[in-house]
Amino acid sequence: MGNPTYKAPAIEQFLNDMSGKNRVETIKRAECVICDGPATEFKDQKSIQEYNISGMCQGCQDSVFSTHEVWVGGRALTMVKNDE
């Protein structure tokens, strides 16, 4: 089971409204707020900490944080997560 981080009530309500789920209760049930899947296995301590902050399982974290495409000067640049 996760240990949800504290957020100011207005922020918590905003996140709940955006996801349609109660972030704190979802984390306590060890579920993902994005895909509704189980959130029981993580790569490392950083991923566990991220789960307690965002409620995203390892798969959703990998999807969100692995690569991003940004536009600079009219060109797409791909940014890759640095796992240092």
Ranges of each domain in the chain: 9-80
The confidence score (pLDDT) of residue 28 equals 96
| Measured CA angle at 35 (ends 24, 47), to 5 deg | 65
Q: Residue 9 carries which side chain, given as an amino acid letter?
A: P
Please state whether 12 falls in left (phi above 0), alpha (psi between -120 and 50) or beta.
Answer: alpha
pLDDT in tens, the chain (84 residues): 689 999 999 999 999 999 999 999 999 999 999 999 999 999 999 999 999 999 999 999 998 887 666 667 777 666 555 554
